[in-house]
Amino acid sequence: MDELIKDFSKPKMSYDALLDEFKEILRKNGLKYTKQRELILKALYQNSGHFSPEVLYQLVQEEDPDMNIGIATVYRTLGLLEDEGLVSSLSFGSQGKKYELGTKEHHDHIICERCGKIVEFCDEEIEHKQETIAQSLGFSMTDHSMKIYGICPECRKETNT
Amino acid sequence: MDELIKDFSKPKMSYDALLDEFKEILRKNGLKYTKQRELILKALYQNSGHFSPEVLYQLVQEEDPDMNIGIATVYRTLGLLEDEGLVSSLSFGSQGKKYELGTKEHHDHIICERCGKIVEFCDEEIEHKQETIAQSLGFSMTDHSMKIYGICPECRKETNT
DNA sequence: CTTATTGCAAACGTTTTGCACGTTT
DNA sequence: AAACGTGCAAAACGTTTGCAATAAG
């Protein structure tokens, strides 16, 4: 069960390496390197976790209150980063999406229905099984997501559930 | 691998039995049985598949053009049916949710990224593993969802992917 | 006759877009 | 100088809500 308790919170890349990769992607696509884009990337790196665009927008504003960054830029940059595989998103129905830096190892999520806490884990057996399932149904797999919902240890204590 | 090729498209209940269950739920909760609610349930039963509220709204209108059913009623009824466990929903980020009748056995979904087709499957091993994972992280599991994305056999043929 | 339900339209929160202006290359 | 990116405000989108009228129990 050791595989589950690995620490998925640490990006496997230094910030400089990440920034270089981002710049390279921008160059390759004829896009421009801007202060706004860097601020957003940095905010994702520094506060590792899962953020809604709105929350990320607030983080970026706090980080640099002088720069009057717009929320549209946050959305546009998150879209760009996701398209290029630098961030990944988790859907929460009509409550929108949350984004996290995608420079960590692949993992799935377990979400507390009471406090919203998100814990990451990875199970090799399931990972492998998913590929097998896709193949046996004639699909070529491009992606997958697994979410477990439950009540986290802390919230269980509060109401002995 | 036989477990995968089971046919999940057939509701395990007759429409009459389903309707009876629905009426029983309504009675138990002091709610009322209305023509609109039945129309929506029937549309879900007859067109087994995964529908957005908007599409379901259209189906219901076609089924009975005289009754001027409102989309708010579709939302309200879907919410009610989901709360009572008669339907379940699949989230598609900011693109909303799709609903299906939940009177079938538990299953997961594989979704074609090109044509949107949804195929259902179930893998006992993964089902069991999810419970184990939740426990080992101290969570009590309340729900889970697994989505595999890929390209379906038909779409692969079209572009030999 | 009481209470829940309906359709409508307005409100809501999130995400996208058009545009004139700014910045990067 | 050319092309892309920005902030802003407006629009779009899916969903929810307040309300007066209606239907079910």
Residue A91, nucleotide of least CA–C1' distance: C14
Residue in B with minimal Cα distance to A130: B148
B156 contacts A148? CB cut-off 8 A: no
Q: How does pLDDT run across A83-95, given as a tens digit for each residue?
A: 999 999 988 777 7
pLDDT for the residue numbered B69: 96
Q: Pick one of 1.20.20.10, 3.10.620.30, 1.10.10.10, 3.30.470.20 as the CATH number of A1-104.
A: 1.10.10.10
Q: Identify the burial level of B102 via C-beta atoms within 10 angstroms of its C-beta, where 0-12 means exposed, 13-18 middle and 19 or more buried.
A: middle
| Number of Cβ atoms within 10 Å of the Cβ of B122 | 17
Q: Whose CA is closest to A77, among A33, A20, A115? A: A33
Does residue B14 or residue A102 have the better pLDDT? B14
Helix %, strand %, coil % of chain A (to 5): 50, 20, 30
Q: How does pLDDT run across B78-131, given as a tens digit for each residue?
A: 999 999 999 999 888 777 899 999 866 789 999 998 888 999 999 999 999 999
A-chain CB neighbours of B52 within 8 Å are none
Matching CATH topology for B1-104 and B106-161? Answer: no
Do A109 and A118 contact (CB within 8 A), yes or no?
yes
Q: Return the domain boundaries, chain A.
A: 1-104, 106-161
pLDDT for the residue numbered A3: 62
Residue B6 has pLDDT above 70, yes or no: no
What is the dotted CATH code of the domain comprising B106-161? Answer: 3.30.1490.190
Residue in B with minimal Cα distance to A152: B139
DSSP state of A116: -
Mutate to test the interface with B, among A129, A131, A148, A156 (most CBs of B within 10 A): A148
Rounded to whole angstroms, how far apart are CA atoms A24 and B147? Answer: 32
